[in-house]
Amino acid sequence: MKTLKFISIIFAWMLLTFMACSTTTRKANQADSTNSDTVYSISTRQLKSDKIPDSVFRMTKLRHLAISGMDCDYGDNKNCWSISKIPNEIKNLKDLTTIRLTVDAIAVIPFELTELKKLKLFDLSDNAGLTSFDNIAKCGSLEFLYLHGCGLTKLPDNIGDLKNLKELGLMGNNIDKTEQKRIKKALPNCIIKF
């Protein structure tokens, strides 16, 4: 049964990614402050960079940001791009509703993310080095939070502050039964997938 649920989550993620990719997307080097595009979706292999381009943070109408990576995990050691930081300039993207950064190396959630009052979905799945993410509990508008495969053992003590959270994805982590029970109690109205 867990395998079926996992497959359905992967399918839903792929569908959302496909939908994001099928809308008009400008490449980072074409972005400017007057850009009206609402979707930016790319892979680290396409970017050929280990950072989110500065031009993205001038896309003031941006609503959906999606960068996938993990090139190193697929045997490409010559062209290995691994984004490890969410720049503080993320605060400039006030209209963001969706962030998907499945790039393998993000370790810290910056405080500036809490300034995104429209953010509904945040996906940091497969960032196995995620160590400092207490700021996530201060993102009160979040409805969907995915932290699959991040190697987590514990969530922030104030995770219950996410009153609007509808779904929390935690599969592929090392969360023991005691912590699972605490999370369920803190988020009684949320679907939690361990």
| Domain annotation for the chain: domains and CATH numbers | 2-193 (3.80.10.10)
CA–CA separation, 168 and 166 (whole Å): 7
Asked whether 156 and 181 are in contact (CB, 8 A), the reply is no
Instruction: Work out the burial of residue 66: count CB atoms within 10 Å of its CB; fewer than 13 is exposed, 13-18 middle, 19 or more buried.
Output: buried
Compute CA 168 distance to the chain's CA centroid, rounded to the nearest angstrom: 12
Q: What are the helix (H) ranges across the chain?
A: 2-22, 44-47, 177-186
Asked whether 143 and 84 are in contact (CB, 8 A), the reply is no
User: Residue 151 region, left (φ>0) first, then alpha (ψ -120 to 50), else beta?
Assistant: left
Per-residue pLDDT tens digits for 34-73: 445 899 999 888 888 889 999 999 999 999 999 998 656 5
| Per-residue pLDDT, 172 | 95
| Phi, psi values for residue 115, rounded to 5° | -85, -5
Per-residue pLDDT tens digits for 90-103: 999 999 999 999 98
Q: Retrieve residue 158's tokens.
A: 């104030």
